[in-house]
Structure formats: structure tokens, C-alpha cells
Structure 1
Amino acid sequence: MDTMRDRFAPVVSRLLDEDPRVAVVLAEIGADGFRAAERRHPGRVINVGIREQLLVGAAAGLALTGLRPVVHTFASFLVERPFEQVKLDLGHQDAGAVLVSAAASYDWPAGGLTHMAPGDVALLDTLDGWTVHVPGHPDEAETLLRHAVAAGDDKVYVRLSVQANREGRAVDGKRFVPVREGRSGVVVAVGPMLDAVLAATEGLDMTVLYATTVRPFDGEGLRRATGAAGTDVVLVEPYLAGTSTAAATEALSDVPHRVLGLGVGRRELRRYGTVEQHTAAHGLDPRGLRERIGGFLDAGRRQAAARA
């Protein structure tokens, strides 16, 4: 199976052909994929070199002229390093752009901490007005890229990963997708976490929701699911653990509920190893998820019994 990033350049190259507003801004990374598109559209494919602050600033300038810039590099260089420009050049100036990252969380362990960004979505959460897409399959990445570019002049972040589920699902860029129904709680699996969540919750009487658009957070979808399944909620995210717990709590603010946020831990893993080893070390493999989700449900049952 190809990767989400394999789809990026072909999809956006077609969008360059289809829409004269689309422009692409790169900082060396990914430039080879746009050579042909650059020849066809020399004024709308721009490589600023290894200058990530300029990458975002140039995109904002293009947006202010009426173009729809698509900006691409590794997540650590797209959100973290130029965060001031994301905050001011895009946010403060109300300039729209589509930021498309690669190497999410720990996708390239050999690159070390400089190339890891598990806090990217949490960092964007400090700003207003961002849509965040987290596809879990290359087909979904293609769909959500098109949604992002077509989203007027909005600020959109598309988080691509080498981790992927075995099959893609129909996603609309808005709502959570019900995958499994149960009565003992709800698990929200974000993007590439779905297959592991389904394996971890096999035999548990739990509803599983699939989220590929996490901002805006589908609070209504979560409320509908908890109405039938109860208000024990587990969020399984492929980035910093707990990133969406506040959003889930806000959605359920008028009812008693418990929320468990699972994701990438804060502790730095200095023996970089493989993607699979990082996943297991953060407890995001099926075994680790089963232990923690099962323990969360057991604790809830004990609390209910103590109150009875």
C-alpha cells in the first residue's frame, strides 16, 4: 500500500491544474514531487529553501493576494519551529492556508527528537479557528486534502503519517464515524489508531467512533454515542495524550462522565528504535490499549458498586 505522503504531491499537483488559486510553498522537503507541476505552473510552486519561518510567512503573503497556499514540510518544522509565524502571519492577519505535515509524532525515529512533533495538535489548539484533519489511510488523506483546499480561506492542518489502518473509510471532513456499537462506554479512535483500537476492544461491549477531523471536535456525535453507550469515554490519539480531553469534557459538561486520554506520552524515548517499538512503549499497541481501557472500565464499575 502506498503512504499518505505518496498521495500528497500527485493530488496537489492535480489541484494546481484544476484551480488557478492554488499555490504550493515548500522548504526543500518534498520538492522533487512537484518538478513537473513547477514547470506547468512556475509562479505557483515556490521552494524557499530550508527557511521554515519564511515558508509560513510567504504562504501568508500569497493568501493575502487571494491565492490558496498549500504548505508542506515535516510537522516539527511546520508547526513548532515557525509557530510565531503561524500565530501572527496566518492567525493575527486572518490569512488562510493549508498546512500539510509529514513525519507525525515519531514516524522517523532515526531522525531523533528534532524530527518528532507529538505536540503539534495541542500547540495549534492554543490558536483560534483551525480545522485539523488526521487521516488514517491514504484514501482518506486524498479526500481530506481536497476538502482542505476547497475550504474557502480557512486555516487547515492536515496531519499525514506513515502509520495507517488496513482500509480506508468514507469520511466527510466533519463528523465522527460510528464503527462499532456497545453499551459500556465510547472509544474515539483518531486516524491511524483505529485498527489498534478495534483489536484492543474486541469482545468489550463498547461503542467505537472513528475521528479523522478532530477540530472542530464533533461534540454532537460524541453526545449521541454516549446516550446509548454510557458516559465513560476513552480518547485514543496518535499525538500527545490528553490533547482532546477538554473538548470531550466540554461536550459532556451537563452530564456526569469520565474521560481517559490515551496517546503519546511526554517522556522522551532516547533509544529511538522503530515506529512499532515507539507505539508499544507509549502503550498504543493493542495489548497496551486493552490493559488501560480495561482498567478504566473496571475502575468505573468499582466506583458504581461503591455508590450503590
Structure 2
Amino acid sequence: MDTMRERFVTVTSEVLDTDPRLAVVLAEITMDGFRPARQRHPDRVVNVGIREQLLIGVGGGLALTGLRPVMHTFGSFLVERPFEQVKLDFGHQGTGGVLVSAGASYDWPAGGYTHMSPGDVALLDTLDGWTVHVPGHPDEAEALLRHAYADGDRKVYVRLSLQANGSARPVDGSRFRTVREGGRGVVLAVGPTLDGVLAATEGLDVTVLYGTTVRPFDSAGLRAAVGNGPADVVLVEPYLAGTSTAAANDALGDLPHRALGLGVGRAELRRYGTAEEHTAAHGLDPAGLRQRITDFLGVRRETPGAGVRTR
């Protein structure tokens, strides 16, 4: 199976051939993959070098000319380093574009903290009007990228990762999907966390929702899963823990509820290790999730499959 990043190259190169509005701006990262497309479209595949602020500035300028810019590099260099340019060149100027990141929170631990971006979605949350897609499989990434490219002049962030679920789910760029139904709580799994959440909640009488578009937050979908309350809600996100807790609280503001946000912790893990070791250290592996979810819900381990209906 190809990776999300490889699928990004394939899909974007194809759309460059068919949509004259699309333009790609790179900062060296993934440039090798786009060399054939650059030969075909030298005016719409631009490499600015290792200049991330310029990456966003050029993208904003292209948007002002009527093009649909796609800007790509590691998340830490795409959202965090040039954040002022993102805020001004798109938000303040009222333009639209597509940010496509690689690296996620800790896909490449050997790159050190400079290449980790657990706070990217939380940072974009300080700005208005951004759509945020977090695919959990290359097929989902393709669908969401195509959706983003055709999404008029909106501001869209597509967060790609080497971590992926074993199979793809249908995605529509807006709603949460019910994967499993239960009666003792709701667990929302975002993007590549789904397989771990399903393993962690096996045998628990809980509803599992799957989200690949987290902004705008699907308040109606969460409320439908919760019912009339009171409710216990756990949000499992592959980036900074608690990023969507406020959105969930707002969605359930008129209902008695408790919400637990699980994700990447704030403490920096200073040993490189592997991505899998980082996942376990942040309590996002099945064992860590199981313990924290059951502690929060106040339930003991149940017979696998009891009270569970899977779709």
C-alpha cells in the first residue's frame, strides 16, 4: 500500500493536468515526486527552497491571481514556522488555499522536535474559517484532497501521516461516521487512531465515531450519538490532547456530560525512538487507551462483543 504522502503526489499531479487553476508550491520537501509534473507545468509547480515563510507568501500571492494554491512541507514548517504568513496572507487577505502537511505529530522521531508538529491543529484553531481534514488511510487522503482542491476558494488544511488504519472508510469531508454502537459512552476516533480505538474498546458497550474532518466540528453528529444525555465522551486525536474538547463541550452545552480529551501530551519526549514507541509513551496504543477509557467510564473489562454492534 502506498503512503498518504505518495498518494498526495499521484493525485495532485493528475489534477494539475486537468485543472488549470491548481498550482503547487514546495519548499524542497517532496520535490523529487513532483519533478515530472514540474516538467509538464513549470509555471504551476514552484519550488522556493528551504524558505517556509516564502512558501506561504507565494501561495497567498498565487491565490490573489485566481489560482488554487497547494502548499506542502512538514507540518512544523507549514503551520508553526510561517504562522504569521498563514494568518495574514490567507486570513487577513481573505484568500483561499490548501495546506498539505507531512510528518504529523511524530512520524519521523529521528528528525527531532523540529520535525514534530503535535500543536498544528490547535494553532489553526486560533484562526477563523479553516477546514481541517485528518485522513486515516491513503484512500481517504485521496478523497479529501480531491474535495479540498474542488472546494472553491476555502482555506483547507489536510494533515497527512505515515500512520494509517488497515482499511479505508467512506468519507464526505464533513460528517462523523458511526463505526460501532453502544450505550455507555461515546468515543470519537480521529484519523489514524481508529484501529487503536477499536482494539481498545473491544467488549465495551460504547459507541465509536470516526472523524476525518474535525473542522468544522460535526456537532450534530456527536449529539446524535449521545442522545438526550447525560453523556460521557472521549475524544482520541493524533495531535495535542484536548484540541477538540472545547468543540465537544460547545456541541453538548445544554446536556449534562463529561468529556475526556486524549492525544499527544505536552511534555517533549527527548529520545528519538520509533513512532510506535512515541504512540505508547503518549498512551495512544490500545493498552494505554483501554486503561484510560475504562478508568474514565468507570467500567471493568467486559466479554468481547457484548452489547456491541459493528457497522
Cα deviation per residue 1:57-116 (whole Å; 9 max; x = unaligned)? 000000000000011000000000000000001110011010000000000000000000
Letter in 2 for 1:61: G
Counting only pairs closer than 5 Å after superposition, residues 254-293 of structure 1 correspond to structure 2 as: 254-293=254-293
Q: Does 1:137 align with 2:137?
A: yes
- Determine the structure 2 residue equivalent to 1:74: 74
Structure 2: unaligned runs, 5 residues or longer: 300-311
- Determine the structure 2 residue equivalent to 1:207: 207
Counting only pairs closer than 5 Å after superposition, residues 207-246 of structure 1 correspond to structure 2 as: 207-227=207-227, 231-246=231-246
Distance in 1 (alpha carbons) for counterparts of 2:202 and 2:29: 40
Tell me the TM-score normalised to structure 2 length: 0.95
Letter in 2 for 1:118: P
- Determine the structure 2 residue equivalent to 1:167: 167
Structure with the higher fraction of residues in helix conformation = 1
Displacement after TM superposition at 1:42 (Å)? 1.0
Distance in 2 (alpha carbons) for counterparts of 1:271 and 1:209: 33
Letter in 2 for 1:54: L
2:182–2:205 Cα contact (<8 Å) kept: yes
- Determine the structure 2 residue equivalent to 1:304: none
1:21–1:67 Cα contact (<8 Å) kept: yes
Distance in 1 (alpha carbons) for counterparts of 2:95 and 2:115: 27
Distance in 1 (alpha carbons) for counterparts of 2:289 and 2:238: 12
Letter in 2 for 1:123: L
Letter in 1 for 2:26: L
1:184–1:229 Cα contact (<8 Å) kept: no
Displacement after TM superposition at 1:120 (Å)? 0.1
Displacement after TM superposition at 1:2 (Å)? 1.4
- Determine the structure 2 residue equivalent to 1:109: 109
Letter in 1 for 2:70: V
- Determine the structure 2 residue equivalent to 1:306: none
Give 3-state SS (helix, strand or coil) of 1:238's partner. strand
- Determine the structure 1 residue equivalent to 2:185: 185
1:186–1:229 Cα contact (<8 Å) kept: no
Counting only pairs closer than 5 Å after superposition, residues 31-46 of structure 1 correspond to structure 2 as: 31-46=31-46
Cα deviation per residue 1:109-134 (whole Å; 9 max; x = unaligned)? 00000000000000000000000000
Cα deviation per residue 1:215-252 (whole Å; 9 max; x = unaligned)? 00000000000007851000000000000000000000
Cα deviation per residue 1:141-180 (whole Å; 9 max; x = unaligned)? 0000000011000000000000000000110000000000
- Determine the structure 1 residue equivalent to 2:308: none
Letter in 2 for 1:261: G
1:182–1:229 Cα contact (<8 Å) kept: no
- Determine the structure 1 residue equivalent to 2:13: 13
Counting only pairs closer than 5 Å after superposition, residues 21-100 of structure 1 correspond to structure 2 as: 21-100=21-100
Give 3-state SS (helix, strand or coil) of 2:220's partner. helix
1:183–1:228 Cα contact (<8 Å) kept: no
Distance in 2 (alpha carbons) for counterparts of 1:135 and 1:229: 29
Give 3-state SS (helix, strand or coil) of 2:2's partner. coil
- Determine the structure 2 residue equivalent to 1:157: 157
Over aligned residues, Cα RMSD in angstroms? 0.9
1:27–1:72 Cα contact (<8 Å) kept: yes
Cα deviation per residue 1:258-300 (whole Å; 9 max; x = unaligned)? 000000000000011000000000000000000000000018x
Give 3-state SS (helix, strand or coil) of 2:227's partner. helix
1:206–1:229 Cα contact (<8 Å) kept: no
Letter in 2 for 1:28: E
Distance in 2 (alpha carbons) for counterparts of 1:166 and 1:84: 37
Tell me the TM-score normalised to structure 1 length: 0.96
Distance in 1 (alpha carbons) for counterparts of 2:229 and 2:179: 13
Give 3-state SS (helix, strand or coil) of 2:298's partner. helix
Displacement after TM superposition at 1:39 (Å)? 1.2
